[in-house]
Structure 1
Amino acid sequence: MRKFSLPWVLALAASAAGCSFAPDYQRPALPVAASFPAGEAYRYGEPSPGTQNQPAPDIGWRDFFGDPRLHKLIELALANNRDLRVSALRVQEAAAQYRIVRAGLFPTVDANASRSRTRTPLDLTSSSQAISNVYSVGLGAAAWELDFWGRVRSLKSQALAQYLATAQARKAAEISLVSQVADQYLAMLAYDEQLEVTRKTLAAAQSSYKLAKLQFDVGAGSELDLREAQGVVEQAEANLSVQTRLRAQAENALVLVVGSALPDDLPAPLGLDDQSILADIPAGLPSDLLTRRPDIIQAEETLLAANANIGAARAAFFPKISLTGQFGTASPTLDGLFKSGSAAWSFAPQISLPIFDAGSNLANLDIAHLEKNVAIAQYEKAIQTAFREVSDGLAARGTYDSQIDAQKRFAASQQRRLDLSNLLYKNGAASYLTVLTAQNDLYAAQQALITARMQRLTNLVDLYQYLGGGWIEHTGDAPRPADAPARPVVATH
């Protein structure tokens, strides 16, 4: 029988190193149209100054937003938000898991030393010694799998893809956080403006109530007019309480997103009309999202992991060859361990061939194929979701300006209507119900205008995120890798 030396086995393993049963990966076809929708809702204006027709990922968030207070809030959130911190830790966890799997490609070498003492009956030993001692020192490699069929390499590729997917999930979380902070900040500004409108409405209602009461007291007005005026005051006070509560809750939500209390030395806020948020960033093509959106890249890395897992499942049908060896010295006495002739070694190759496993290997392969099909569907869904989000954002960007212009004209007309109603009422030519209706309609129009302004701005923020913007701080910065370390915590006191 031919004897196989360790160098020969290692050479054979090296010659088989390129073998892999993982399928050749092919990116699925784009499951959406080749371009974003066009039509009346998708009218684009001229590019904003400073964009230079740059795609969203190349525009830093400090350049996209113009409010210094918002800059500081985003900076604090990137350092203190707990969800983002967990995402960064998950990346480190996935990296450690990848290193564990990759270590399977190499033998594990241990140093060991032992001493055994044995008593054997004299009638069972050929020597005159009933008690024997054995001392040994050496290096050992236990059950190192020779990866002939690429099973371990497929598992390594799977772990690597999972690590990269986790890194992209962290990147997506950071981009989303920038958008969340801006959206919540804009909501707070909107509540501030709505509170101001409500206070003015309340003050006007109180003045009208005083006039109605005076007229009622002198017999020149009816109790109906008095009660209608009183109702307007009560309703305005109720609205003030509601909006005060919502404003406080909005600030609480912002504190949660930022991850710390808001510092007292923040720059003064700008109003909604003063927010210089870039508009008309070019959308590009849907195919650009494959490289710009980290959630899509994450879904593709998950698909690559499933593809590699098929290779590992296929390799399980073939023999598994492993080596166990040890080299060192052994001696019956401690002082003889390193003397000439004390060398000791053992070499034990092992092969395991699956013959009957009740179909478990075949089931594992079926599962691997099904998981890949699931990953394909999830990848395609991620693209379709991104396409819908960008398309909705473009439709909103193309229509909000005209909506706000019309809303402004409507609010102005309702203000004029209220002025005329008050004039007619004071001259006895109209009932107080006319004033009441005009006042309510003006209040609703002003509230709707503020809401529309906020929605326009938040849509621009969200569209920036949907197009992949928010990862770099300044335009022109080199993008950080998706697995970059988390930012240090920023103190707020």
Structure 2
Amino acid sequence: MKMTWGDVSAKSARASARLSTRRLPGRLVLAMLASLLAGCAVGPDFSKPAAPEVGDYTVHPLAATAGSTNIVGGEVQRFNRGGDIPADWWTLFHSSELNALIEQSLASNPDLKAAQAALSVARENVLAGRGANYPAVAAGMSASRRQDPPGALAPVPSNNAFLYNLFTPQVSVSYVPDVFGLNRRGVESLQAQEQAVRFQTIATRLTLTANVVVAAIQQASLQAQVEATRRMIEADTRMLEILRYQSARGYAGRLDVAAQESQLAQVAATLPPLLKQLAQQHDLLAALAGQFPSQLPDGEFTLSSLHLPQDLPLSLPSTLVAQRPDVRQAEAVLHAASAEVGVAMANRLPNISLSANAGSTALAMGRLFKAGTGFWSLGANLAAPVFQGGTLRHQEHAARAAYMEAAAQYRSTVLTAFQNVADTLAALEQDAAGLTTAASAADAAKVTLDLSRRQWKDGYAGYLSVLSAEQAYQQAQVNLVQARANRYVDTAALYQALGGGWWHRADTAHAVSTRDADEK
């Protein structure tokens, strides 16, 4: 029988089909095994929350604050919408003493060092968690001496000795394929926890620098208030001496003397609280700088030595959530909670473990690793939870509830961040108006004092009117100092509320970007 080329081709095709059919089960098994070893991560895949869709921080957007060039620290402050924040924002106050104190605080503050150590702990936990993705190899050596009873039916050694030594070195390898992503979700949770600690460290650094700036400003303000209060006490004391002299000569009544004594006592009573606050600010600066109170010299900060930043950056609302370290920390906590849901789900699924052992056993050390002494074993184990009394199911429910809790906390943190910025903007606006009013009151009190002195010199007024005008002027100076300090403090608060520019620090920005890439 002759066969044409078409018959040969058809026959070859049928043979190939039968061969492929025979190979199909093997290929299917290999594919299933490969997919089983590769596995899939159960549980939700985390995605970053979207930025809030809001256009501004306040109902009425601000472009600039009120101000006057005639007032020290009263310049107009303009808000640069979309402006960036430098990492060393405190240098904008142009105070070398303040810069030196902050550098000392960053180098010696124990809270910051503790936060950095906590970050190292979290980083090492991530590296330790990654070890679950690799086989575990253990080497061991056992040596024993044993005596079997003479009446034993079957002595262990092949030489039928009842007293013998046994030496067994071996290597054990175990591996648990991450079939359902238990290890991957666990490492993902650890990485998110590391990110949370990292942003907590950034927040600690930002809080430290802001606290140092505020404490220095408050110290300068209190020092100026103490000096003005002492001048008021001196004026009231001189006024009381004059009234007592006049009362002795019959030119003033006892009621006037008693009123002035009460006034002097009231003013003098305000000095001890100011001195107490001044001492506490000094002690606070020492603690922030990582020193004991006796080690830090008295500060030389004055409000006149500080420059008020006039061009203030105002980050866009859409970028605030990426700049605030507390928001990023809450986001990392949310990510960790999402990964823990996957861990809880994977714990309810079957678990596969592979093991292998190889070694040698002999009755004498010199016979180890010789022919006939080696042994090996391979094993696989499949275990699945069947009944745990509802433990695993409720643990999964708890993980899902923890995720909902973290989501609500994230939302609360975002709202607080926007509230901080809005409050600071409102404070800056009112601080500018308050400083202008306080400066006007101080100018008016100065004019009154000058006129009173001129009238006293010309004989048209008594010295009591001069002392009264002096007292009013010093009180106006106290109010002016407080208004000026409020403006400096709230300016620093704005830089803190907007994130403090940590993303411009090379070490921090690189670490955060690297971790974000690893998580992706």
Same fold by TM-score greater than 0.5: yes
Q: C-alpha separation between the residues in 1 aligned to 2:444 and 2:224?
A: 20
Name the SS of the counterpart of 2:38 in structure 1.
coil
Distance in 1, matches of 2:80 and 2:472, equals 43
Identify the residue that residue 293 of structure 1 maps to in structure 2. Answer: 324
Partner residue, 2:218? 187
Structure with greater Cα Rg: 2
Instruction: Confirm or deny: 8 A CA contact 1:13 1:148 kept in the other structure.
Output: no
**Equivalent residue for 2:71?**
none
* Alpha-carbon offset, residue 149 of structure 1: 0.5
* Structure 2 counterparts to residues 33-432 of structure 1, below 5 A: 33-39=54-60, 43-44=64-65, 55-61=83-89, 63-121=91-149, 122-125=151-154, 128-142=160-174, 144-261=175-292, 269-417=300-448
| Deviating more after overlay: 419-428 vs 170-179 | 419-428
Q: What CA deviation, in whole Å up to 9, does each residue of 1:312-345 have, x standing for no partner?
A: 1111121111123211222222211121232211
The one-letter code matched in structure 2 to 1:139 is: V
**Which digits, 9 at most, give the CA deviation of each residue in 1:363-397, with x for residues without a partner?**
11111111111111111111111100011111222
Which one has more relative contact order, counting CA pairs under 8 Å at least 6 apart?
A: 1
In structure 2, the CA distance between the partners of 1:57 and 1:119, relative to structure 1 (3 Å rule), is farther
- Distance (Å, rounded) in 1 between the aligned partners of 2:487 and 2:131: 52
| Residue pair 1:41, 1:399 contacting (<8 A) in 2 also | no
Shift of 1:56: 4.6
Deviation readout 1:256-312 (Å, 9 max, x if unpaired) = 122114798989835213311424422122221122111111111111111111111
Range that drifts further, 158-167 or 413-422: 413-422
Do 1:329 and 1:342's aligned partners in 2 also have CA atoms closer than 8 Å? yes
2:38 to 1, 17, 22: 17
| Aligned equivalents of 1:40, 1:371: Cα separation in 2 | 38
Q: Write out aligned runs for 1:446-457 (5 A).
A: 446-457=477-488
Q: Deviation of residue 477 (structure 1)?
A: 5.8
Q: Secondary structure at the match of 2:508?
A: coil
Q: Is the 8 A contact 2:81 2:314 kept in 1?
A: no
8 Å CA contact 1:44–1:280 kept in 2: the answer is no
Offset, 1:86:
1.0
The aligned amino acid for 1:154 is R
1:178–1:470 contact (8 Å) kept in structure 2: no
- Range with greater deviation from structure 2 (332-341 or 289-298): 332-341
Distance 2:375 2:314 in 1: 71
Q: AA paired with 1:71?
A: N
- Contact between 1:30 and 1:287, CA under 8 Å: does it hold in 2? yes
Compared CA separation, residues 261 and 68, structure 1 to 2 (3 A): farther
Deviation at 1:431, TM superposition (A): 12
The 3-state SS of whatever aligns with 2:48 is: coil
How far residue 78 of structure 1 moved from its aligned partner, in angstroms, is 0.6
Q: Which amino acid aligns with 2:482?
A: T
Once the 2 structures are TM-superposed, how far is the Cα of residue 176 of structure 1 from its aligned partner?
Answer: 0.8
- For residues 224-246 of structure 1, the C-alpha deviation after alignment (integer angstroms, 9 at most, x for no partner) is 22222333333333222222222
**Number of aligned pairs?**
472
Q: 1:159-210: CA deviations, max 9, x gaps?
A: 1110111011001100110000000110000011001111211221122222
**Secondary structure at 1:295 match in 2:** helix
For residue 379 of structure 2, give the secondary structure of its aligned residue in structure 1: strand
Task: Give, as a single letter, the amino acid of the residue that structure 1 aligns with 2:418.
Answer: F
Q: What are the ranges of 5 or more consecutive residues in structure 1 without an aligned counterpart?
A: 1-7, 485-493
Q: Report the TM-score when normalising by structure 1.
A: 0.85
Shift of 1:52: 8.7
Matches of 2:112 and 2:254 in 1, distance apart? 60
Q: Contact conserved, 2:219 with 2:301, CA < 8 A, in 1?
A: no
Deviation (angstroms), 1:123 = 4.1
- Return the offset for 1:30: 4.0
Q: Percent identity?
A: 28
d(CA) in 1 for partners of 2:79, 2:437: 28
Instruction: Give the corresponding residue for 2:10.
Output: none
Provide closer, same or farther for how the CA distance between residues 252 and 83 of structure 1 changes in structure 2, counting only shifts above 3 A.
same
Identify if the C-alpha distance between structure 1 residues 278 and 248 changes in structure 2 by more than 3 Å, giving closer, same or farther. same
CA contact (8 A) 2:235 2:467 kept: no
Greater shift, 275-284 or 456-465, is seen at: 275-284
Which segment is superposed worse, 87-96 or 40-49?
40-49
Query: 1:272 is matched by which residue type in structure 2?
Result: L
In structure 2, do the counterparts of structure 1 residues 379 and 101 end up closer, same or farther at CA, with 3 Å as the change threshold?
same
CA contact (8 A) 1:91 1:483 kept: no
TM-score (norm 2): 0.81
Task: Call closer, same or farther: CA 1:441–1:18 in 2, change over 3 Å.
Answer: farther
Quote the Cα distance in structure 1 between the aligned partners of 2:359 and 2:396. Answer: 42
Matched residue of 1:331: which SS?
A: coil
* CA-CA distance at 1:48 after TM superposition: 9.0
More moved, 117-126 vs 182-191? 117-126
Q: What is the rounded CA distance, in whole Å, between the counterparts of 2:31 and 2:212 in structure 1?
A: 57
**Distance (whole Å) between structure 2 residues aligned to residue 382 and residue 176 of structure 1:** 16
Unmatched tracts of structure 2, length 5 or more: 1-28, 68-74, 513-520
Distance change in 2, residues 1:85/1:10 (3 Å): farther
